[in-house]
């Protein structure tokens, strides 16, 4: 579940805000820590699967407990709570937050239509490297900017972490739910419990994914109480087992028991680390969900509630097992065997609910990271549904991804039918994401925090050595289940690479074939054709120049609209773009041509406006640009920027563009909007009442002393054109590899990218316009 909360990360916590911080900490327990809190269900069972045996000396169980304690202390507590959480991107966290931070501090972004004007955005803050680390920092920055191969390696590293998060979205629900229902094994024989557990787990998983499209805003208030009840349950049972069975279990917290464990078990103990590392599964959610809460609330929830509860739970299990060595079968070394028999069934019910909450969090997180990848041009466009009518930033649902995750999750559950292989797969996915975070975080320390390179190396080697130890133990079990996240990551990496490569090549074709401004000026104000009433909204990816699609219209159609707007909707490497910074508006050619360019900028976590709101803001921003361009006063005046592209485009710049926001559209001297209720006949209402589409009429103020005659005439013409109608025009491209291309390029473009393009959604802004007013023009791209 995603909860959008105000960003408090950049402001000191005041005394009166502690109530808000405690409320956020309470909510984070149900959203962030559902997965991490259910890890005691399967850690000991996975560690003792077959690599090591539980002996009467208790060296194995105490060694596992020591590893669990120090792993929880070093990775979630020390690394994430005290260090990584500070590396927020304007309050947002996750793998892409680290990547976009690096993209802003060094020009390594792969977005093709970036502009220098984007660096003036409020959230695009970029500090200079201090003198203390200036030489090394600048050297590293210039090296990354100079070598394209290093930029691609950085992108692949970020995408690898993203793919492993998606793989975690498949494996976490499987192992959490399957481990939760494994308590049934204590009430039946080993031969029969598998025939019950697998169907029950599959039914719960199908219901979990089926309910995704309803969203979590209706039942989200239950998540925190469920997780709190679960943490209270496992910590209470842990305290009971400690004092009832073995109070001396506290001695196992000494690192000396890790040495004794590895000395005795050798290779078997090293391989068992693949199961032990599951104690930190879900730790990445603390950073990934940072945008929905505050740093302090997440830190408080983990430090004072989650961390002590988990330590008590693991110690309690170890205390019980230290006094029970003769077990009928090794599969009984698990969580439920240490639960008192008279409360076992209630605990089973709470465990299933907690597993569902933990699975819900990772599924929603997968939706969120897919949206971010799509916004940054690294994943095919998918349908995004906002499940909450009030909170549009957090709670999203992607049907294609949801059903894909469900099928993969069911395949893993039915195919493996035990927690051993699923845990091997989940462990590799979890530790790979953490390794990627460590690598990216080391660069952030140098380039963004401007700290010493030795501090970055110390961070990388200290935490990286721990994570590589666990990574090697997980990778050695490649044939025993660990191949699953590798296979899933390869599939998603290929999809991301093909889409990104095809998108870049398509944009380069647009840049190379754009029309010169001199050609347009030679046509005259009428463009050589009849200009009819209305607004022609031409969608293009270009931020400068005239797209080739426009020349195709002018040379083949006898008439065109009196007002033409070249619209570019693009993403920028920041989480959110303020409404007052949303639009860049400029003019193409002389005023009498009535040609405008409008660039709508969105962050990777922003939500595109609906059709009515977008149309209204677009017209108002153009009107505001017309007014301020001549008068030089009012909102937006003076905020003129040069629209320069990062690519080596031609120098036929369209001129300067003004930053115009929706907030300034209704200011004094601008046009005003009046809503009119549409007329609906009684027969239509009786048959099937549709949702009426509100009509907005633009009105020019009667008296405006600041407005001269030329501006008033241009605004009146704009309003008349809007009243006549708006047509949305976009190209329907067919991308083909040009002659002489290599076999690999022809396969990637002609088959891979073409398949993804035909099966992906159109541009988000195109989907919101009525089909009756949308015109598609087929174009062949030889890339």
Which of the two residues, 172 and 669, has the higher pLDDT score?
172
How far is C-alpha 210 from the geometric centre of its chain's CA atoms? 22
The Cα 380–Cα 400 span in angstroms is: 11
pLDDT tier at 408 (50, 70, 90 boundaries)?
very high
Tell me: pLDDT of 21 over 50.
yes
Measured at the CA of 615, the angle between CA 596 and CA 773, to 5 degrees, comes to 90
- In the block, residue with structure tokens 């920041």: 574
Residue 673, helix vs strand vs coil: strand
Please report the DSSP string for 173-233 in residue order: HHHHHHHHGGGGGGGS-HHHHHHHHHHHHHHHHHHHHHGGGG-STTTGGGHHHHHHHHHHH
**438-465: per-residue pLDDT in tens?**
999 999 998 888 888 899 999 999 999 9
The Cα 432–Cα 473 span in angstroms is: 12
pLDDT value at position 280?
Answer: 93
- In the block, residue with structure tokens 């697998």: 198
Spell out the residues 6+ positions from residue 20 whose beta carbon is closer than 8 angstroms to its own: 8
Tell me: pLDDT of 683 over 70.
no
pLDDT tier at 77 (50, 70, 90 boundaries)?
very high
**586-615: per-residue pLDDT in tens?**
988 888 888 899 999 888 888 766 556 778
pLDDT value at position 485?
Answer: 93
Q: Is 772 exposed, middle or buried (0-12, 13-18, 19+ CB in 10 A)?
A: exposed
User: Which H helix or E strand runs over 642?
Assistant: strand 640-642
pLDDT value at position 707?
Answer: 64
Q: How many residues does the chain have?
A: 783
Nearest to 408, CA basis, from 99, 168, 78:
168
Out of 190-194, 500-504, 672-676, 703-707, least confident range? 672-676
Which of the two residues, 130 and 178, has the higher pLDDT score?
178
pLDDT value at position 1?
Answer: 37
Q: Percent of the chain scored above 70 by pLDDT?
A: 81
> In the numeric block, which tokens belong to residue 659?
């930053």
- Residues 615-641: b if buried by 16+ CB within 10 A, e if exposed: bbbbbbbbbbbbbbbeeeebbbbebbb
Q: Percent of the chain scored above 90 by pLDDT?
A: 27
Tell me: pLDDT of 403 over 60.
yes
Residue 695, helix vs strand vs coil: strand
Tell me: pLDDT of 727 over 50.
yes
How far is C-alpha 428 from the geometric centre of its chain's CA atoms? 21
Tell me: pLDDT of 681 over 80.
no
Tell me: pLDDT of 526 over 60.
yes
Instruction: Return the number of other C-beta atoms located less than 10 Å from residue 57's C-beta.
Output: 12
pLDDT value at position 191?
Answer: 58
Spell out the residues 6+ positions from residue 607 whose beta carbon is closer than 8 angstroms to its own: 386, 392, 393
pLDDT value at position 646?
Answer: 45
Q: Mean per-residue pLDDT for 743-760?
A: 90
Spell out the residues 6+ positions from residue 210 whose beta carbon is closer than 8 angstroms to its own: none
Tell me: pLDDT of 22 over 80.
yes
Nearest to 715, CA basis, from 601, 778, 631:
631
Nearest to 175, CA basis, from 98, 274, 260, 256:
274
pLDDT value at position 652?
Answer: 47
The Cα 126–Cα 167 span in angstroms is: 33
The stretches of 75-116 forming alpha helices (DSSP H) are 82, 95-105
Which of the two residues, 616 and 674, has the higher pLDDT score?
616
pLDDT tier at 733 (50, 70, 90 boundaries)?
confident
pLDDT tier at 632 (50, 70, 90 boundaries)?
low
pLDDT value at position 157?
Answer: 92
Q: Mean per-residue pLDDT for 526-551?
A: 83
> In the numeric block, which tokens belong to residue 436?
């990627």
**Mean pLDDT of all residues belonging to the chain:** 80
The Cα 400–Cα 294 span in angstroms is: 31
Dihedral sign for Cα 424, 425, 430, 435, please: positive
- Give me the torsion for CA of 185, 186, 190, 193, rounded to 10°: -30
Tell me: pLDDT of 634 over 80.
no
The Cα 247–Cα 240 span in angstroms is: 10
Tell me: pLDDT of 705 over 70.
no
Q: Mean per-residue pLDDT for 560-586?
A: 87
Out of 3-7, 237-241, 289-293, 313-317, least confident range? 3-7
> In the numeric block, which tokens belong to residue 545?
């120049």
pLDDT value at position 113?
Answer: 74
pLDDT value at position 51?
Answer: 66
pLDDT tier at 291 (50, 70, 90 boundaries)?
confident
Q: Compute φ and ψ for 537, nearest 5 degrees.
A: -105, 105
Instruction: Return the number of other C-beta atoms located less than 10 Å from residue 284's C-beta.
Output: 29
The single-letter DSSP state of residue 449 is S
Helix, strand, coil shares of the chain, percent, nearest 5, are: 60, 10, 30
Beta bridge partners of 600: 569, 583
Q: Is 498 within 8 Å of 752 (Cβ atoms)?
A: yes
Q: Mean per-residue pLDDT for 236-250?
A: 93
Alpha-carbon distance values, 184 to 179, 190, 206 (Å): 10, 10, 19
The Cα 56–Cα 323 span in angstroms is: 8
pLDDT value at position 638?
Answer: 43
The Cα 618–Cα 673 span in angstroms is: 12
Q: Is 406 within 8 Å of 206 (Cβ atoms)?
A: yes
pLDDT value at position 243?
Answer: 93
Q: Mean per-residue pLDDT for 612-633?
A: 78
pLDDT value at position 562?
Answer: 86
Which of the two residues, 649 and 71, has the higher pLDDT score?
71
pLDDT tier at 749 (50, 70, 90 boundaries)?
very high
Cα distance between the two ends of the chain = 42
How far is C-alpha 719 from the geometric centre of its chain's CA atoms? 39
> In the numeric block, which tokens belong to residue 516?
């010169």
pLDDT value at position 300?
Answer: 92
**294-310: per-residue pLDDT in tens?**
888 899 999 999 999 99
Q: Is 88 within 8 Å of 293 (Cβ atoms)?
A: no
The Cα 667–Cα 291 span in angstroms is: 32
Q: Is 706 within 8 Å of 632 (Cβ atoms)?
A: no
Q: Mean per-residue pLDDT for 524-546?
A: 82
Out of 63-67, 131-135, 573-577, 645-649, least confident range? 645-649
pLDDT tier at 771 (50, 70, 90 boundaries)?
low
Residue 461, helix vs strand vs coil: helix
pLDDT value at position 670?
Answer: 54
pLDDT value at position 541?
Answer: 87
pLDDT value at position 530?
Answer: 79
Out of 174-183, 274-283, 385-394, 428-437, least confident range? 385-394
pTM of this structure = 0.84
Q: Is 660 within 8 Å of 585 (Cβ atoms)?
A: yes
Which of the two residues, 459 and 541, has the higher pLDDT score?
459
Measured at the CA of 141, the angle between CA 138 and CA 147, to 5 degrees, comes to 135
Q: Is 447 exposed, middle or buried (0-12, 13-18, 19+ CB in 10 A)?
A: buried
Spell out the residues 6+ positions from residue 557 whose beta carbon is closer than 8 angstroms to its own: 529
């Amino acid at each position: 579940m995603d909860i959008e909360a105000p960003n408090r990360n950049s402001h000191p916590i005041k005394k009166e805000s502690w109530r808000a911080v405690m409320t956020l900490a309470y909510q984070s327990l149900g959203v962030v820590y559902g997965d991490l809190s259910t890890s005691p269900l399967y850690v000991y069972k996975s560690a003792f699967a077959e690599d090591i045996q539980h002996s009467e000396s208790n060296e194995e169980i105490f060694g596992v407990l020591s590893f669990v304690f120090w792993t929880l202390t070093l990775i979630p507590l020390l690394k994430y709570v005290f260090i990584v959480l500070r590396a927020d991107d304007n309050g947002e966290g996750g793998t892409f937050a680290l990547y976009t931070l690096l993209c802003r501090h060094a020009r390594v972004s792969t977005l093709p239509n970036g502009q220098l004007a984007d660096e003036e955005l409020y959230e695009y803050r970029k500090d200079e490297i201090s003198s203390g680390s200036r030489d090394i920092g600048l050297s590293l920055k210039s090296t990354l900017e100079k070598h394209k191969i290093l930029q691609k390696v950085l992108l692949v590293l970020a995408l690898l972490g993203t793919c492993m998060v998606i793989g975690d979205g498949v494996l976490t629900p499987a192992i959490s739910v399957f481990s939760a229902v494994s308590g049934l094994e204590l009430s039946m024989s080993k031969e029969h419990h598998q025939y019950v557990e697998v169907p029950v787990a599959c039914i719960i998983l199908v219901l979990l994914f089926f309910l995704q499209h309803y969203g979590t805003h209706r039942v989200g208030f239950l998540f925190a109480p469920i997780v709190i009840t679960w943490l209270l349950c496992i910590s209470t049972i842990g305290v009971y087992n400690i004092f009832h069975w073995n109070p001396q279990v506290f001695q196992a917290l000494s690192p000396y028991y890790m040495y004794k464990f590895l000395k005795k078990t050798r290779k078997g103990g090293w391989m068992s680390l693949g199961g032990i590392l599951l104690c930190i599964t879900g730790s990445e959610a603390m950073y990934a969900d940072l945008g929905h809460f505050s740093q302090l609330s997440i830190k408080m929830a983990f430090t004072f509630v989650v961390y002590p509860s988990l330590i008590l739970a693991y110690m309690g299990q170890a205390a019980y097992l230290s006094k029970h060595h003769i077990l009928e079968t090794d599969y009984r070394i698990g969580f439920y065997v240490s639960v008192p028999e008279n409360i076992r069934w209630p605990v089973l019910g709470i465990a299933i609910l907690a597993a569902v909450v933990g699975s819900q969090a990772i599924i929603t997180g997968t939706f969120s990271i897919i949206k971010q990848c799509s916004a940054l041009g690294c994943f095919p466009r998918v349908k995004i549904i906002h499940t909450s009518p009030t909170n549009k930033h957090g709670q999203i649902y992607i049907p294609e991804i949801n059903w894909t995750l469900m099928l993969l999750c069911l395949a893993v559950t039915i195919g493996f039918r035990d927690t051993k292989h699923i845990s091997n797969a989940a462990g590799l996915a979890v530790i790979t994401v953490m390794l990627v975070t460590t690598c990216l975080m080391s660069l952030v320390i140098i380039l963004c925090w401007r700290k010493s390179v030795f501090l970055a190396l110390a961070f990388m080697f200290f935490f990286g050595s721990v994570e590589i130890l666990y990574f090697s133990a997980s990778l050695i079990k490649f044939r025993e289940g660990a191949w699953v996240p590798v296979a899933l990551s390869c599939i998603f990496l290929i999809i991301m690479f093909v889409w990104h490569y095809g998108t870049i090549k398509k944009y380069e074709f647009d840049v190379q074939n754009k029309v010169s401004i001199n050609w347009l000026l030679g046509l005259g104000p009428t463009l050589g054709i009849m200009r009819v009433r209305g607004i022609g909204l031409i969608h293009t990816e270009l931020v400068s120049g005239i797209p080739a699609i426009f020349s195709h219209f002018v040379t083949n159609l006898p008439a065109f609209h009196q007002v033409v707007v070249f619209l570019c909707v693009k993403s920028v490497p920041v989480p959110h773009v303020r409404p007052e910074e949303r639009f860049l508006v400029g003019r193409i050619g002389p005023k009498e041509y009535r040609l405008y360019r409008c660039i709508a900028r969105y962050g990777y976590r922003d939500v595109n406006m609906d059709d009515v709101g977008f149309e209204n803001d677009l017209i108002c921003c153009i009107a505001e640009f017309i007014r301020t361009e001549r008068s030089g006063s009012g909102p937006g005046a003076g905020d003129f920027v040069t629209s320069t592209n990062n690519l080596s485009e031609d120098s036929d710049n369209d001129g300067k563009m003004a930053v115009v926001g929706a907030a300034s559209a209704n200011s004094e001297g601008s046009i005003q909007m009046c809503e009119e209720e549409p007329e609906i006949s009684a027969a239509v209402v009786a048959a099937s009442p549709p949702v009426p589409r509100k009509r907005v009429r633009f009105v020019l103020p009667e008296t405006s002393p600041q407005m001269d005659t030329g501006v008033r005439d241009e605004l009146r013409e704009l309003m008349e054109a809007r009243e006549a109608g708006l047509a949305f025009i976009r190209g329907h491209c067919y991308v083909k590899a040009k002659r002489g291309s290599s076999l690999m390029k022809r396969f990637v473009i002609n088959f891979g990218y073409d398949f993804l393009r035909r099966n992906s959604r159109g541009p988000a802004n195109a989907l919101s316009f009525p089909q009756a007013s949308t015109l598609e023009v087929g174009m062949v791209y030889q890339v």
